[in-house]
Structure 1
């Protein structure tokens, strides 16, 4: 019986020594392997591991000491890097990810397409008044929409005041003060000096005299009628004969969303196209940006001055406009705002790693600068030529969280900082 105990003890010693040797052979510490946390190595670690036993980490290629499978290089296998998010092609398509290259000065380039309507230039609407008091015998402009030219006869007036002034002028030439007063009245009534001497005091001085237009334009409103007694400015409120609009320039009033307003500068050139003139392009320039937001549509009116030779453009016509945006003068990096995820003080962008033969992305923190509406300035964190996720970043971040990889909510650096803070304040 004692002999059996001795045998069992001997067998136990042999098994213990053998087990220790085996454990030393496969133990990560004895075999030069890292701890389980070493699988979260950087892309440049250059070590080899087993797909089945991730605690194995050797410096040279070979077979797994546990299962005998061929080791894989962590550097080329994103499954071992927590900063990388590998996706199957199906996952990539399902997340609807779109990417683009980082470039300088891209934030203000491109074309802004707008729409609006033509309107009268309010600074070119004039009221044609009657400078001569008297009875309106004839209106030569019979309807609205007629074109008038400066110096054109637009009405005839029979004026007793004019007859009296002419009589004073011709019959009292020896009295300088009277003739001077008569001349001043005639000139205030816009009667040309030549009329003074040409009038025949024996026959035609008591006839109606023409009134001439002060403006070029199109008649908008006819405000006087024949047989009406017209007053001038010396008698209080002058009689308005017509309202005239000069259409040599016209306004295009465009609706601009507030998010695009920063892209528009006064003086910028705008191309206009109108359904009324297919295939034709009209050029204008931004003259004023509105002061008030239209709450219903969240738009602001922007006024464009458009030359209108031949008065072909008419108020009320619909128009489409193209504003070509120039790159900013500074040499900075701009990316679409949709590419940036914000969490607290951190701004996150996902970059595509193009060295892999499948979709692989990496977590990247950036420092942002000026907000330019749909674009945002990047101060640090990205370089020109890198490929970033411009659409689908939020879905990619959610996938990173599901895979247990670095993301907005799973950031070892921030978690460590939070842990250190809690320990320091306990």
Structure 2
């Protein structure tokens, strides 16, 4: 079950081994990744690095908390509910495809989740489960609440913010600390600041919904949706409309539709495109609909761009980003690191952001919340609200700034990760104490 990785930076820390069944059993805090297929995931290496470094740097020792792969094709599979609801040492988990949307469908004590936070409700997408005490403050296993949230949205938002900050020579951590306030300025070609910049989003499903929400919170509108399946795209549009969100979502299916929108951008009726978020796999397009996605994306990437920001004041509680010289394109797919679309956009002068950047940011948000909720597993109330810790970076992080940076460096240096298998772990009746040093801790000792 050990991952095989290659590195581009010899100085970066090596990833821990995937935890063994014995290490998981002895773990004081157990985390899992539910989904299928997940053998390619780099999340265990990243999360176990964070756990081990943070524990040691804060004076702790083995046995460490663990993060393990748990192949799950449906939320109806009994082991998922057992691990979440019956394990006294369950400390929260990651959720990936095909479960991100399905897990939000039913809530309550008999289900995986009790509640959804604001972002999960807006997107009907969950990639993270966070443990909370009951509303009355009970930490007993049978009383704990399982809250679903969506850190994919944060990963997208913060990855874009960090890129814009770096392009402008600014402190990226400062942008993150106040990330809810920052947004792109209106298009400066319209004097009164009434026309926002627009954005492109490729793909559909849960990741697309997260991208739509992130782009909207960044002040971008309209959002051009490019996808091979018209029905899937309409599902995204209908989802936000049904939720009462008045978003300007514009699916494009043909060159004629692109040309009509290009005229609106040229006239200033619609703002210039300032950002792109990609959410499609890096596979060679086969059907005409798949090829059209690439044709339209290439047309967008070739459009001329001159940063022109409005001089109008931002609304109360908001702050405008300085427009970057190169428009950011965040490609959520990170296998391979440089996808065909990312390569083409880079050649046209766009700023390439690999999907691993978003993976790092959403993973850090997960780990911060899980660390903040750890006291619940020991019968105590958390000192800080776990959900509010998602963006508590640097010195404010429950993990510590050094552990976060070491985990970031490790993932940025890694190439594709391959894991031999992803077993379903047993649910221990209790979490036995252990003073032995797990093999997974060797790199952190």
- Higher share in helix: 2
TM-score range (shorter-chain normalised) is: under 0.3
> Structure with the greater relative contact order (CA < 8 A, sep ≥ 6): 1 or 2?
2
When the two structures are superposed, what TM-score results if normalisation uses the length of structure 2?
0.20
Instruction: Report the structure number with the largest CA radius of gyration.
Output: 1
- Higher share in strand: 1
